[in-house]
Amino acid sequence: MALADDITALEKKLLQLKTDYEQYFLGYQKIAPEKLRVEVDKLVRLLTGQTITNTGLKFRLNTVTAKFGSYKTYWDRTIREIEDGRYVRDKFKMKLHEAERQPPPPPEQAPENQPTVEASENDIKRIYEEYVKARQDTKEPIPKFEALADLIKKQTPIIKEKYKASAVDFKVVIEDRKAKLKAVPIK
């Protein structure tokens, strides 16, 4: 049973290592988890060097070692991309973190004669164009203009009533690699 426990421990360490690398790639950790990777590598070499007669345990070990080999290839390739400056997700997250660190701009007040989003077809067209560009960037399907316009016209009075706002502005944002339309009540 000690071999089964060792394989279970290896699976847990591999899962932790995968999580640590993902956090490193997203910028949450400053350095790559090399210490844990060396530890997992040693454990894999130790366990693969043993003669295993139990077919179930042999299959589990082969699965874990194959998974580790795939992960190593992926991690090494991603680290190379980061070093070469070609890693897209890292750049996206870096820009997002920079935007979060900067203080928000002061709220702009719309002039009295400027029509609100609900009254202006031009603003809806502008929002639609921004939304289409964001959806193209995230490789998502493009909705029809009428569907988006109906959504904006339907949501505006609901949001105005809920937040007791005089107007509602809509902004296009990208969250979790998906384009979204955010309503901003203007009081």
**What does each of the 187 residues of the chain score in pLDDT, given as a tens digit?**
589 999 999 999 999 999 999 888 887 888 999 999 999 999 999 999 999 999 999 999 999 999 999 999 999 999 998 888 877 665 566 677 677 777 766 666 544 444 444 447 888 888 888 888 888 888 888 888 888 888 888 888 888 888 888 888 888 888 888 888 888 888 7
Please give the residue range of the domain that contains residue 160.
115-186
pTM (whole model) above 0.75: no
What pLDDT score was predicted for residue 62?
95
Are residues 87 and 13 both part of a single domain? Answer: yes
Are residues 83 and 41 both part of a single domain? Answer: yes
How far apart (Å, rounded) are the C-alpha atoms in residues 175 and 172? 10
Q: Which of 72, 99, 126 is the last residue of a domain?
A: 99
What pLDDT score was predicted for residue 115?
42
Are residues 80 and 7 both part of a single domain? Answer: yes
Angle at which helix 2-26 crosses helix 34-48, to 10 degrees, equals 150
Are residues 92 and 127 both part of a single domain? Answer: no
Are residues 87 and 172 both part of a single domain? Answer: no
Are residues 172 and 122 both part of a single domain? Answer: yes
Give me the number of domains the chain comprises: 2
What pLDDT score was predicted for residue 163?
85
Are residues 64 and 13 both part of a single domain? Answer: yes
